Amino acid sequence: MTMIRCNHLTKQYRKGDHVIRPLDDLMLEVSTGMFLALMGPSGSGKTTLLNLIAGIDQPTSGTLLIDGQDIARLSRSRLAAWRSRMVGYIFQLYNLVPVLTAYENVELPLLLHPMTRKRRHERVAEALQLVGIADRHNHYPRQLSGGQEQRVAIARAIVTEPKIIVADEPTGDLDKPSAGAVMQLLQRLNRELHSTLIVVTHDPATAHYADTTLHLEKGRLIESPGATMQVNEREQQVTR
C-alpha cells in the first residue's frame, strides 16, 4: 500500500533574477511502513522534499498525495490539523523548549488534541518509556546529553501516533556511539509502530539502517525513481 506518492513534483522560487528549483519534476512512491533514507549533497532538495511531505511547505506544481489525500488542496487550518495528526518531525538540533522539562516538551503536541489530562499523561509516559528516557522526565534540556535530547525529540515526534515520521539529519549533531543508538532506536520504532519513516542524511552509516536508500541530486532522484521501490540487502536478510 502506498503512503506517499509524488507525481511530477516541483518546487521553485525566485532569488533576484534567478529561478531556484530545489525539486524538479520528482516522481516517487513510498510504501506504508517503509524506512527510507534520502541522501545527496547540500542543495539537492532533500530537506525541501521532507518539508513538502510534512505539510510545512507547498509544491509549485505537480501533486503530492499522502495516504490518498492531496494536501496541497487543504486550507491552512485543515492542513495544520492534518499535520498535527499525521506527521511527527525530528530535527537535527532537537528544537526542544529550554524552559520546559522533557515531559512537558513531549506533551506539547498533545495539547492540540482533544483528550483528558490523564490520557495525555499516559501517552507521554508511554513515549518516554519507548525511547528509554522515562527516568529523565523531570530534567530540562540543559541537563541532558545530546543523545538524550534527541531521544526526547523522538518521543515528542511519536507521541501523537503519526502515520509518518520525518527526520532531518537526526544524527548530525551527535557523536558516533550516540548516533548509532539513535538510529537503532528509530529502526526499532519503525518496526514496532509501523509508521512510515523518512530520514535525510549525509552519512552512509546512518542510511545503512534504512530499508531503502535513494539519492537526490539537483532536485531529481538519480537512482531507481520508479514506482516500485527496491529493498536493500539488509531488509532481504531480515525477511529470510
Cα(90)–Cα(156) distance, integer angstroms: 8
Q: How many domains does the chain have?
A: 1
Q: CA dihedral defined by 61, 66, 69, 72, rounded to 10 degrees?
A: -30
Structural domain of residue 200, as residue ranges? 2-239
Which three three-digit cell numbers place residue 40?
A: 545527496
Q: Which CATH number characterizes residue 230's domain?
A: 3.40.50.300
DSSP, res 238? H
Q: What integer pLDDT is reported at residue 92 of this predicted model?
A: 86
Give the pTM: 0.87
Mean pLDDT, the chain, rounded, equals: 90
Q: What integer pLDDT is reported at residue 236 of this predicted model?
A: 39
223 confidence band (pLDDT: 50, 70, 90)? low
pLDDT in tens, 152-196: 999 999 999 999 999 999 999 899 999 999 999 999 999 999 999
The backbone torsions φ and ψ at residue 118, rounded to the nearest 5 degrees and listed phi first, read: -65, -45
b/e string for 97-108 if b means 16 or more Cβ within 10 A? eeeebbbbbbbe
Q: What integer pLDDT is reported at residue 30 of this predicted model?
A: 96
pLDDT in tens, 71-130: 988 999 999 999 999 999 999 889 999 999 999 999 999 998 999 999 999 999 999 999
Which residues have a Cβ under 8 Å from the Cβ of 31 and sit 6 or more positions away? 1, 2, 3, 196, 229
Is the CB of residue 72 less than 8 Å from the CB of residue 7? no
Read out DSSP for 4-41? EEEEEEEEEEEETTEEEEEEEEEEEEEETT-EEEEE--
pLDDT in tens, 27-69: 999 999 999 999 998 888 999 999 999 999 999 999 999 999 9
pLDDT at 234 over 70: no
Q: What integer pLDDT is reported at residue 43 of this predicted model?
A: 85
